[in-house]
Chains A and B, each alone.
Chain A
Amino acid sequence: MRNNIKAVVYPAITAVVLVVAWIVSIRVFDVPGYLIPPPENVLSALKAGYIDGQYWPHFLFTFKNTVVGYLIGSGLALVLGAYVAESKTFERFFFPYIVALQATPKVAIAPLILVWFGFGMASKVVLIALMTFFPVFINTITGIRQTTPAMLDLMKVFSAGRMHVFFNVKLPSAAGHIFAGLQISVVLSLIGAVVSEFVSSSLGLGYLIQSASINMDVSTMFACLFSLIVIGLSGTQLIRFLHDKLVFWDRRTETIPSE
């Protein structure tokens, strides 16, 4: 079999085996439906959710918050990271506090953010942006700082301007690191979205999971979990795709032709 067919078929086999094991173990061990739902219940929950349409407002709420928060958080991280990496003064003033904020478990700030930004979309977006910020920020700084010194010497020999060096050498040098940060932040942004809805919300997949837990409605919880997985997977795949396209030199492992 060709490799790209294997890449689809093999995990599909794993999925089938897992679902069969799921069904069989529920029957064999007689697990009650309020602990682990049988797959058909989850499927009917998904059907009610997405075909009959009950989940869509929740899905869209979570999805929109995540995307907006992610874009704001990573955008700010990129700009501030570049500033810190480029300006010693800026770094001296702010870096220790940024590190302290990084060490703070952001989830713990969630109730505070709620107080400050209200119960609507704003508080969610702020927490998500905060969660997204740090991996991108730190990786931007690291990436820019790791520019090969000889490359910078080369630019210096030709008296290249600061902006020229930044956009032609430093930023592309850092691109691999930045994308690694963006990748980590996808999942963190989803955590931010769910936690902010746990704290207080009347909408969203996180809210749905929490309210389902009160009713012991595990089928809905599973259905929402799968929905979150779909968002997370799509996000990480999109970032991976962009990484390969935009930073094509980063992962290239081609055989080197001899002279």
Chain B
Amino acid sequence: MNSSPLLVAEDLSVVYSGSRGAVTAIDGLSLQIASGEFVSVIGPSGCGKSTLIKVFSGLLKPSAGKALLGGTPIDKPRGDVGIVFQQPTLLPWKTVLNNVLVPVRALKQDAGAAKEKAIALLKLVGLEKVIHSYPSELSGGMQQRVGIARGLIHDPELLLMDEPFSALDTMTRDHMSIELQRIWMATRKSALFITHSIPEAVFLSDRVVVMSAAPGKVVTEIHIDLPRPRSVETLADPKYVQYCAELRTLFEKLVHFD
């Protein structure tokens, strides 16, 4: 982690001009992600977490500041970012395999050559038995695994995940956290994981970044020093509990529940 960071955001601001005047979604945010690092961003609703994803994926130009990936500015969508959405967002008319190949075809790369890689990724996410099924035949958790495989198919430098488990039930969610850790450890991609859930963030991350609400900026960050692979036992580890408590206290101060 001594090499220069993969993702650098410096003094990033995003201002939306709406019908009721300008709204500052992100205000002077700075953030770095090292190569191979798993970083979670948590924050109250409306803190601009999803806006951050849009900036890093090149869908939205920041109003001020800059975002660099691998040293070059992100000023338009580029092929070296993978993205996993809140909803699985699969194309219901394509099989699981062809859904994973969507980025390859959109990028006009050779889908035939990528097929084996897609199958290997589906194996990695535990879906080798449903390669030729359609999304409607899969459960929510399985659909989101397809989403993760699709996010990784074009070998992105950075995987962006926008609350990918928020649509799942609690049991599936816990299981998916363990699965995601396993997948991440197998690929070692840099990951930016947006979530509402403190336990999820602590469990998965090397570092948890806390954002404040409107306008969004980084309030603090905590390094999570827990050995990997983390498992169900980790949840009972006093250090894990301590991290969660620390973040929860921080949140109480941050959000004024009124």
Contacts and interface: CB of A to CB of B under 8 A. Distances in A.
Interface of A: 148, 150-151, 153-161, 164, 168-169, 172, 175, 247-249, 252, 254, 256-259
B77 A157 contact: yes
A172 to B, nearest CB: 5
Contacts of A156: 59, 77
Interface string B149-175: 000001000000000000000001000
Given A153-B59, A154-B83, A254 B137 contact: yes
A256 B108 CA distance: 33
Contact of A257 (B93, B108, B137): B137
Contacts of A157: 57-59, 77, 81, 83, 103
B interface, over-half SS: loop
A159 B136 contact: no
B interface residue count range (under 10 / 10 to 19 / 20 to 34 / 35 or more): 20 to 34
A159 B78 contact: yes
A172 B135 CA distance: 15
Contact of A158 (B103, B135, B139): B103
Contacts of B59: 153, 156-157
B203 interface: no
B255 interface: no
Contacts, number: 75
User: A161, A175, A252 — which one has the most chain B CB atoms within 10 A of its CB?
Assistant: A252
A162 to B, nearest CB: 12
B85 A158 contact: no
A150 B107 contact: no
B106 A160 contact: yes
A172 B93 contact: yes
B141 A259 contact: yes
Contacts of A257: 137-139
B32 interface: no
A160 B59 CA distance: 13
Given A158-B77, A252-B134, 6 more contacts: A150-B86, A155-B106, A157-B81, A161-B108, A175-B93, A249-B93
Contacts of A247: 93
What 7 A-B pairs are tightest by C-beta distance, nearest first? A160-B106, A158-B106, A249-B92, A150-B89, A172-B93, A158-B103, A150-B85
A215 B87 CA distance: 65
A259 B126 CA distance: 11
A169 B85 contact: no
A248 B91 CA distance: 12
A157 B87 CA distance: 16
B89 A154 contact: yes
Nearest to B92: A249
Contacts of B134: 249, 252
A150 B77 contact: no
Contacts of B142: 259
A259 B136 contact: no
A256 B107 contact: no
B128 to A, nearest CB: 14
A104 B95 CA distance: 44
Contacts of B123: none
B223 interface: no
Contacts of A155: 106
A169 B137 CA distance: 20
Nearest to B172: A259
A128 B103 CA distance: 43
B103 A256 contact: no
A70 B92 CA distance: 29
Nearest to B107: A158
A151 B85 CA distance: 9
